[in-house]
């Protein structure tokens, strides 16, 4: 990725050149934002600066008028949430440059322009399709083969669903983070997107009634078959199909999901790594679990997204037409 010299969130001179800060303090302050967040902000900043160069206006510092003109051009082909994230990237980079009190991205003119864009375009996001609990039962039938790849993929898919893991969390699981018990297993997540301060969280995965769809058994089978003694749980393979020592790439989760959904006859383009996490939340809502119970497993910090899953899960369950049709209309 091309990092511009004026993208200061990677290399902040206000921190690096501050003689009152110790080297240890500087190192920690550079890690105030997650790497994936910085990558997204860097891409957003590159887009903004390209626009500024084309319109012959300075990007840093810029004016509120520049941001308003930029986001109105951007809104012609981007979602409102994308526009909002670009404003955040512009704001964060100006703060890194020392523009705290006179940050153009905080100007009321920019806020009003963003409100107009949201009103015009709306904020609904078309995410990838969820993989529901019923679909997991269908997936189980695909794993009769005893080869290592199939054993790993089953463990990854079923654990990803049962733990409502983000794909980055899933591939980061280490063997030392797993504790088995008579009830199932507990996985410790040291840090995640919703836990930037690194307090950590524990995710309980109980044994499923059906061993063919049980995430705990699938993980145990993978650990035993791959002879994993320590290190990452999920790994790629060498050419001779021996497991590697290094953890699987988070992008591989999406590839594996698409592969098996395609084998079920579904369009792989409709699914991604997030389909497992979203599928858990949607399935939980369909089984009448409340928002707080869902949040304990998904580790969402805000109820806003969880309520969206609940609404999607209840589209048919609470549809008034069901009562209007009567109890005998349903077709199996």
CB 195 within 8 A of CB 152: no
> For residue 291, what pLDDT band results from cuts at 50, 70 and 90?
confident
Please identify which of the residues 79, 193, 296, 308 carries the catalytic annotation.
Answer: 193
More confident residue, 238 or 31: 238
Please identify which of the residues 41, 70, 260, 309 carries the catalytic annotation.
Answer: 309
- Report, as an integer, the average pLDDT of 89-113: 91
Percentage helix, strand, coil for the chain under 3-state DSSP, each rounded to 5:
55, 10, 40
Model confidence pLDDT, tens digit, residues 9-27? 766 666 666 677 787 776 6
CB 171 within 8 A of CB 247: yes
Q: Is 41 a catalytic residue?
A: no
Model confidence pLDDT, tens digit, residues 168-221? 999 999 999 999 999 999 999 886 555 555 567 899 999 999 999 999 999 999
Would you tell me which CATH number, out of the four given (3.10.520.10, 2.40.170.20, 1.10.150.130, 3.90.1310.10), belongs to the domain 13-121? 1.10.150.130
pTM tops 0.85: no
Q: Is 274 a catalytic residue?
A: yes
Please identify which of the residues 128, 274, 278, 299 carries the catalytic annotation.
Answer: 274
Predicted pLDDT at 73: 93
Q: Is 70 a catalytic residue?
A: no
Please identify which of the residues 94, 152, 166, 299 carries the catalytic annotation.
Answer: 166
Predicted pLDDT at 303: 65
- Report, as an integer, the average pLDDT of 80-99: 89
Q: Is 277 a catalytic residue?
A: yes
Model confidence pLDDT, tens digit, residues 147-161? 899 999 999 999 999
Q: Is 166 a catalytic residue?
A: yes
d(CA 268, CA 113): 37
Predicted pLDDT at 321: 66
Please identify which of the residues 94, 167, 277, 299 carries the catalytic annotation.
Answer: 277
What stretch(es) of the chain map to CATH 1.10.150.130?
13-121
Would you say residue 108 has pLDDT above 80? Answer: yes
Cβ neighbours of residue 171 closer than 8 Å, sequence gap 6 or more: 232, 234, 247, 248, 249, 250, 252, 253
Give the CATH H-level superfamily of domain 133-313.
Intergrase catalytic core (1.10.443.10)
Model confidence pLDDT, tens digit, residues 21-69? 787 776 666 555 666 778 888 889 999 999 999 999 999 999 999 999 9
> For residue 314, what pLDDT band results from cuts at 50, 70 and 90?
low
More confident residue, 261 or 3: 261
Q: Is 193 a catalytic residue?
A: yes
Mean pLDDT across the chain, nearest whole number?
Answer: 84
Percent of the chain with pLDDT over 70: 78
Predicted pLDDT at 79: 83
Would you say residue 104 has pLDDT above 80? Answer: yes
């Amino acid at each position: 990725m091309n990092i511009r010299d004026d993208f200061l969130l990677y290399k902040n001179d206000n921190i690096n050149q501050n003689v009152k800060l110790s080297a240890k303090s500087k190192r920690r302050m550079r890690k105030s934002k997650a790497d994936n967040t910085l990558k997204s902000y860097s891409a957003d900043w590159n887009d903004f600066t390209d626009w500024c160069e084309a319109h012959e206006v300075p990007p840093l510092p810029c004016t509120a008028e520049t941001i308003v003109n930029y986001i109105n051009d951007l809104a012609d082909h981007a979602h409102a949430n994308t526009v909002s994230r670009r404003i955040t990237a512009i704001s964060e980079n100006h703060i890194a440059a020392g523009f705290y009190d006179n940050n153009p991205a905080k100007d009321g003119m920019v806020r009003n322009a963003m409100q107009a864009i949201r009103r015009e375009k709306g904020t609904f996001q078309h995410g990838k399709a969820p993989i529901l609990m019923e679909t997991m039962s269908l997936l189980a039938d695909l794993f009769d083969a005893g080869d290592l790849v199939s054993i790993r993929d089953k463990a990854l898919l079923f654990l990803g669903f049962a733990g409502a893991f983000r794909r980055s969390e899933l591939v980061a699981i280490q063997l030392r983070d797993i504790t088995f018990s008579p009830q199932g297993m507990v996985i410790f997540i040291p840090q995640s997107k919703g836990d930037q301060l690194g307090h950590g969280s524990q995710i309980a995965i109980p044994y499923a009634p059906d061993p063919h769809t049980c995430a705990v058994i699938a993980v145990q089978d993978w650990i035993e078959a791959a002879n994993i003694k320590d290190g990452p749980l999920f790994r790629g393979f060498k050419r001779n199909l021996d497991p590697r020592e290094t953890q699987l790439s988070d992008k591989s989760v999406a590839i594996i999901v698409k592969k098996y959904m395609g084998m079920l006859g579904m369009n792989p383009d409709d699914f991604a790594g997030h389909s497992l996490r979203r599928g858990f939340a949607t399935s939980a809502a369909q089984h009448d679990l409340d928002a707080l119970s869902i949040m304990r497993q998904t580790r969402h910090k805000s109820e806003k997204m969880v309520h969206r899953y609940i609404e999607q899960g209840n589209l048919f369950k609470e549809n008034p037409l069901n009562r209007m049709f009567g109890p005998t209309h349903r077709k199996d």
